[in-house]
Amino acid sequence: MTKILDGREEYKKILTAQATQARKIASHGFAVGFTMLSVGEDDAKLQYALANKRACANAGINAVYEVLPAEFTTEQVVKRIMELNADPTVNGIMVLAPYPKHIDGSKINSAISPEKDVDGQTPRCISDLYANRNGKDTFYPCTPYGAIKLLKRYNVDLDGKNVTIVGRSTVVGKPMAALMLNENATVTICHTHTKNLRAACKNADIIVLAAGKANLLDKSMVREGVVVIDFGSNFVDGKVVGDADYDGLLGIVGAITPVPGGCGPMTTAVMLENIIKAAKRQYKIR
């Protein structure tokens, strides 16, 4: 029997809790503000921003999606981020990736005030993550931290477990590895140069998929009872599917996140939590 790790259910609970916190902030005479910046426009970013705006509206957060011209230089984008840093009505800032090729992403991430860095991308937040400093005092990246929260919600023990992560990007695979290490898991990170992906997956108690390749993980690659976290988001025959052969793994794996409805809603949930946390800190509300 495979347990479905339902991100949507958990999202609803977190949304309700954050809406309560937003009302508490309002009772002190403050509003919660969040700005998503994009350099240039594309449909994927627009859809992502609109979904985030809807979630924020439901939580009582004023979200703004601001598109800067694609030809803006790194310095022009940094200048706009500095203005947002100084704006007391903006509690959280997120710059949506990917950036145009001429933009220096590290300068963009460094420009965001760590107090408003609700996706944990500034050097200070990344350093806190890798140094395993207290999560209460920093912001962890929404996507990998959402999956950790979901695992905890379902009481999946991470301590001492063999975790195989497929993918080494700086947005998903690497921060997920750091979070797992912070939970005392033993971590293996795989990528396109990994010699024996099958063996690495067979050895795992928990497999994390962050490759963006449909059907990458099938039943021949897993031990019975393994937990599968699937970040993958792939369009196949007009449908969004993960990196796992979901139907083929049902009944074999112990637990799995569905796509959609697993990691995606948890990313949004952590984003809401981080925005509220930032606002409460900035307004000095406990």
CA distances from 227 to 174, 177, 250, 281 (A): 19, 16, 11, 36
Minimum Å gap between C-beta 88 and ligand NAP is 30
Pairing of strands 227-230, 255-256: parallel
Binding range to ligand NAP, per CB under 6 A, among 8-16, 51-59, 123-131, 231-239: 231-239
Of 154-173, binders to ligand NAP (CB under 6 A) are 166-169, 171-173
Minimum Å gap between C-beta 133 and ligand NAP is 23
Among 40, 212, 248, 254, binds ligand NAP (CB under 6 A): 212
Q: Quick check: helix, strand or coil at residue 196? A: coil
Minimum Å gap between C-beta 87 and ligand NAP is 27
Of 173-192, binders to ligand NAP (CB under 6 A) are 173, 190-192
CA distance 187 to 173: 11
200 binds ligand NAP (CB under 6 A): no
Counts for the chain of helices (H) and strands (E), in that order = 10, 11
282 binds ligand NAP (CB under 6 A): no
Minimum Å gap between C-beta 101 and ligand NAP is 15
* CA dihedral angle for residue 255, residue 136, residue 175, residue 36, rounded to 10 degrees: 100
Q: Quick check: helix, strand or coil at residue 242? A: coil
CA distance 28 to 152: 32
Among 74, 109, 188, 267, binds ligand NAP (CB under 6 A): 267
195 binds ligand NAP (CB under 6 A): no
Q: Is 157 exposed, middle or buried (0-12, 13-18, 19+ CB in 10 A)?
A: middle
Interface mask toward ligand NAP for 53-92; x: CB under 6 A = ----------------------------------------
Minimum Å gap between C-beta 76 and ligand NAP is 26
* Torsion sign across C-alpha atoms 58, 56, 175, 173: positive
Residue 166 contacts residue 144 (beta carbons within 8 Å):
no
- By beta-carbon proximity to ligand NAP, the closer residue of 39 and 166 is 166
220 binds ligand NAP (CB under 6 A): no
* Closest-CA residue to 250 (of 233, 267, 230): 230
Among 120, 141, 232, 258, binds ligand NAP (CB under 6 A): 232
**Residue 63 Cα to chain centre, angstroms:** 18
Residue 244 contacts residue 204 (beta carbons within 8 Å):
no
110 binds ligand NAP (CB under 6 A): no
Among 14, 22, 165, 263, binds ligand NAP (CB under 6 A): 263
Binding range to ligand NAP, per CB under 6 A, among 80-88, 104-112, 218-226, 263-271: 263-271
Residue ranges binding ligand NAP (CB under 6 A): 143, 166-169, 171-173, 190-194, 197, 210-213, 216, 231-234, 263-264, 267
